[in-house]
């Protein structure tokens, strides 16, 4: 099956949002999705975008049961290491179940790495859940280092009231 990978445009955000929700429904966490295509349009296509996105499309004759020709996406952004410099972080990688096993996921991952290298990034990083053995094995087979297992890194988050409290403690100018 032929597929095409390209940079997302603002007009693609409704379809990307549809796929974000599909992934959340699959993970039984659709109530966790708080943003819609409007935030994606605003945040991905402003002066200093918060992310970039690649989408995967198939031809009309190969479209999904529901009629979609956009069948996958990879959303990523640039980060920084004070020791190594520019890096790229892969936030989401998703291919509709019906279209898996055809190289689309690998293609998207490779394309993100290529985009990163064009920007002189020296690292590609991502996070994966402990129980997600297929994904962990996939990345390990491609040479990824699990920094949590190997170096003891823990990922920490502040949100909601705790984030507000931190901000309120900032010294006043």
Binding positions for a copy of itself, 109-138, rule CB under 8 A: 109-111, 113-114, 116-117, 121-131, 136
Among 35, 97, 100, 133, binds a copy of itself (CB under 8 A): 35
Q: What is the CA radius of gyration of the chain?
A: 18
Site string for a copy of itself, 1-30 (x = CB under 8 A): ----x--------------x---x----x-
- What residues contact 121, with CB distance under 8 A and at least 6 apart? 78, 85, 86, 87, 88
Residue 136 Cβ vs a copy of itself, minimum distance, rounded to whole Å? 7
CA distances to 42, 110, 123, 153 from 113, in Å = 25, 5, 9, 23
Among 43, 63, 69, 98, binds a copy of itself (CB under 8 A): 43
Among 18, 22, 45, 51, binds a copy of itself (CB under 8 A): 51
CA atoms of 173 and 162, how far apart (whole Å): 22
Residue 12 Cβ vs a copy of itself, minimum distance, rounded to whole Å? 14
Catalytic annotation, residues: 139
CA distances to 10, 51, 64 from 78, in Å = 19, 8, 32
CA atoms of 68 and 21, how far apart (whole Å): 14
Residue 65 Cβ vs a copy of itself, minimum distance, rounded to whole Å? 24
Count of residues near a copy of itself by CB under 8 A? 79
The reply on whether position 39 binds a copy of itself by CB under 8 A is yes
Beta carbon nearer to a copy of itself, 63 or 86 = 86
3-class state of residue 34 by DSSP: coil
Residue position matching structure tokens 């998703």:
94
The reply on whether position 100 binds a copy of itself by CB under 8 A is no
């Amino acid at each position: 099956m032929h597929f095409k990978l390209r940079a997302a445009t603002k007009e693609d955000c409704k379809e990307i949002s549809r796929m974000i929700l599909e992934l959340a429904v699959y993970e039984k966490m659709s109530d966790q999705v708080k943003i819609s295509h409007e935030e994606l349009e605003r945040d991905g296509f402003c002066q200093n975008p918060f992310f970039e996105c690649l989408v995967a499309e198939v031809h009309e004759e190969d479209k999904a049961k529901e009629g979609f020709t956009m069948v996958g996406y990879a959303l990523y952004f640039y980060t920084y290491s004070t020791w190594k410099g520019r890096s790229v972080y892969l936030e989401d990688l998703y291919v509709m179940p019906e279209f898996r096993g055809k190289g689309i996921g690998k293609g998207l991952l490779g394309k993100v790495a290529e985009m990163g290298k064009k920007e002189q990034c020296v690292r590609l990083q991502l996070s994966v859940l402990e129980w997600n053995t297929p994904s962990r094995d996939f990345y390990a087979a491609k040479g990824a280092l699990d920094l949590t297992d190997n170096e003891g890194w823990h990922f920490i988050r502040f949100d909601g009231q705790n984030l507000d409290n931190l901000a309120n403690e900032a010294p006043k100018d």
